[in-house]
Amino acid sequence: MSGELEFYFDFLSPFAYLAHDRVCGLARGYGRKLTYIPIDMPAAKLAAGNTGPSNRDMPVKLRYLMTDVERWAKRVNLPVSFPASLDSHRMNAGTFYALDRGLGEEYVREGFNLGWGLGGDIGSDETLTRLAEIMGWPPAEFIEYAGASKALPDYVASTRQAVEKGVFGVPTVIIDAQMWWGNDRLDFVEEYLAGRGG
């Protein structure tokens, strides 16, 4: 099998952060091209009919979610610190700047680390400047590009593509028209790649 591994993500998701390294390993290990598809997750949820409040607006669920994220981070040996904000549109859009330069994996890893690893404000100029510096890019140029965010054609198209394929949350992996949602479904992804499941 040679179909690409599509990774749908939004930098606001801790579970996409927790999944990323393993997704990279699965793609490499099974010879699949890894395709990064950043999406506007709240828009995808609404398109799927999920009009409920966000986790941040439900204190009981948020407390559990924070504990769950910490447990998963320990399991996959990643640092975790909740970001100062979850305004992810510019960082999401910046993925296309990285992809144009053949640096998708590096960009996504560094972006997640600045947000979920170090607790930075993923929507701030300061964090985006730091990300550009790490990547070796002119910060002003990168921030101007990312500033288009919701209106950036590639970002609009990637969210539309996700909705059309039935993506309603992140992280989502699609391979050969098969879909798995959640960092806790990656064992099933590996079974599929190994030819042991569907």
Closest CA to 159 of 95, 84, 86: 95
Q: Is the pLDDT of residue 198 over 60?
A: no
Q: Quick check: 128 and 146 in contact, CB under 8 A?
A: yes
**What's the count of helices (H) and strands (E) in the chain, helices before strands?**
9, 4
Report in angstroms the alpha-carbon separations of 177 from 162, 180, 187. 12, 10, 17
Q: How confident is the model at residue 151 (pLDDT cuts 50, 70, 90)?
A: confident
| Distance from C-alpha of 186 to C-alpha of 19, rounded to nearest angstrom | 8
186 vs 196: which has the higher pLDDT:
186
Q: Is the pLDDT of residue 1 over 60?
A: no
Report in angstroms the alpha-carbon separations of 188 from 31, 76, 137. 17, 17, 37
Give the tens place of pLDDT for each residue, 11-44. Answer: 999 999 999 999 999 999 999 999 999 999 998 9
Enter the pTM of the model: 0.93
Average pLDDT on 141-145 reads 96
Q: Quick check: 179 and 15 in contact, CB under 8 A?
A: no
In this structure, the strands spanning 5-9 and 34-38 are: parallel
Closest CA to 21 of 97, 63, 72: 72
Please say if 13 is a catalytic residue.
Answer: yes
| Distance from C-alpha of 191 to C-alpha of 165, rounded to nearest angstrom | 22
Please name the helix (run of DSSP H) or strand (run of DSSP E) that holds residue 9, with its range, or none. Answer: strand 5-9
Q: List beta partners, residue 182.
A: none
Helix (H, G, I), strand (E, B) or coil at 141: helix
Choose, from 2, 13, 81, 158, the residue flagged as catalytic. 13
Q: Quick check: 92 and 149 in contact, CB under 8 A?
A: yes
49 torsion bin: left (phi>0), alpha (psi -120 to 50), beta (else): left
